[in-house]
Structure 1
């Protein structure tokens, strides 16, 4: 049968664990991750409090405020992008299965014909192929766990630290106010 005229059907694997051989790693593309607005607003508000306190202290010391490279709310709201690589394997029953690897893997981690065991889970969108959580490459003995960015890695350690300092400053002010009332 001509594979160009009658391509083989591709199935999404039903189970959480699929064992088979790598047929093909397709070209990767980027997908944007959604950022929950309430969490972003809370972090930015707390960070702004810390930044205002820092600006006040610096202006009192006449050291200047510094320009810094702040990212805009719109940039932070957009969310990080992560690499999505479609993976096709032929399971032990001979069925061609497709799944998605989210995040980066080493270049030589998977080769065609490698015998692998994959742990997958369905995505929120039922139209998308299941997401790979873990790959055990039986051929090479490697355990592979792709990692995608999180909200906290997207915001960055500086902004998260600023937010924690802002929350601490607000807690101190509230404690002082409550202490003076009682």
Structure 2
């Protein structure tokens, strides 16, 4: 067998928001980090710090996290998914998060709803899959910036914001 007989399968980038085809399989997964914007991280950090200061005065134990930890953001699993349409063309989309392993089997007929990503060099992002073989709708779940910040930190930030608003109201009154 010479080099001319070896051909790589051509992977296409799909531009339509809906792809219907056969599920070929998952590729090797990796993690990607979502950065939290500096203004949001600083606002949450400062307002939560005000509440932490009040909590320490009242001898309560506040939840503490560094600004660097807040800016780092959550990591989520990215899994390239390959599909083949009726014409035999292969498409690759990115699935962010996880689905149950038993949800998709090689050869299942699927309909995938996608969205373009902010980085145009990346494949489209899988938003929802409907396994037409089993008629099961599937949505991958990923961590969000808000889940990364955590309920304790967000409650402290809200309390700090209320304290600042009350102080501003008293001073301006």
- TM-score (ref. length: structure 2): 0.92
Report the number of matched residues: 172
CA distance in 2, matches of 1:161, 1:136: 37
Name the counterpart of 2:54: 53
| Aligned partner (choices 97, 107, 114) of residue 91 of structure 2 | 97
Distance in 2 separating the partners of 1:31 and 1:11: 22
Equivalences for residues 126-137 of structure 1 within 5 A? 126-137=120-131
Instruction: Please report the TM-score for the alignment, with normalisation by the length of structure 1.
Output: 0.88
What residue in structure 2 maps to residue 61 of structure 1? none
CA RMSD of aligned residues (A): 1.9
Larger radius of gyration: 1
SS at match of 2:57: helix
Structure 1 residue runs without a partner (length 5+)? 59-64
Q: Give yes or no for the alignment of 1:158 onto 2:152.
A: yes
Instruction: Determine the structure 2 residue equivalent to 1:116.
Output: 110
User: Whole-Å Cα distance in 1 between the matches of residues 74 and 65 of structure 2?
Assistant: 13
- Per the alignment, residue 38 of structure 1 pairs with 39
1:5 — aligned with what?
Answer: 6
Instruction: Name structure 2 gaps, 5 residues minimum.
Output: none
Return the alpha-carbon distance in structure 1 between the equivalents of residues 109 and 15 of structure 2: 19
1:84/1:23 Cα in 2 relative to 1: closer, same or farther (>3 Å)? same
